[in-house]
Amino acid sequence: MKFVSCTLEQHGAAILEIFNEAIAHSTALYDYRPRAADSMTSWFATKANGRFPVLGAVDDSDRLLGFASYGTFRAWPAYKYSVEHSVYVHGDHRGRGIGPALMQQLIAAATGQQYHVMIGGIDAANAGSIAMHERLGFVHAGTIRQAGFKFGRWLDLAFYQLILPTPDRPVDG
């Protein structure tokens, strides 16, 4: 396994497949309908405009096994040092350490970009993702009860955060 910077041309279809599998079969995404192929163009553009990485794990054949990224946590300026991240692993490759390896790469990227807090919004019933985040040093920061409704039931959204030692010189404004 190696890590790459994902592009729309090389990885867009594989990322879309992973997203749509998660939408259809899990509460990892609180979406109802699969995303259209053209949605990836704006998704990648948003990442590029914000200088947010899209990191992928690929096998020896350059097939995408999983990906991780982050983006704006909240739109107000004082949140400029916080990002909300996500990590997804293809269903055929879960349980092989790909998620934690991607997260370590993402933490390094956030530190390098001088962010201070990484935030993950995780379905409170997703014990595997919660355990992975806790192993990486994330701590529970709160749960919004019944924040979503999917598959005929209310879903609790748990927030986990990791405080990074950066930025070196934070500034107001």
- In the chain the domains, ranked by start, together with CATH numbers, are 2-163 (3.40.630.30)
- Residues 23-37: tens digit of each pLDDT: 999 999 999 999 999
pLDDT band at 139 (very low <50, low <70, confident <90, very high): very high
End-to-end Cα distance, the chain? 41
pTM score: 0.95
| pLDDT at 173 exceeding the cut of 90 | no
Q: For residue 146, give the nearest of 159, 137, 156 by alpha carbon.
A: 156
Mean pLDDT to the nearest integer, 126-151: 98
The vertex-133 CA angle with 74 and 152, nearest 5°, equals 70
- Widest Cα–Cα separation across the chain: 47
- Residues 106-137: tens digit of each pLDDT: 999 999 999 999 999 999 999 999 999 999 99
Find out whether the peptide bond into 167 is cis, omega within 30 degrees of 0.
yes
- Residues 59-84: tens digit of each pLDDT: 999 999 999 999 999 999 999 999 99
Predicted confidence at residue 52, as pLDDT, reads 98
Q: For residue 66, give the nearest of 9, 24, 106 by alpha carbon.
A: 106
Distance, CA of 154 to CA of 150 (rounded, Å): 7
3-state helix, strand, coil in the chain (%, to 5): 35, 30, 35
- Sequence-distant contacts of 148-155: CB under 8 A, at least 24 apart: 148/27, 148/30, 148/123, 150/27, 150/30, 150/32, 151/27, 155/27, 155/30, 155/123, 155/124, 155/125
Q: In whole numbers, what is the pLDDT of the chain averaged over residues?
A: 97
Give me the residues paired with residue 60 across strands. Answer: none
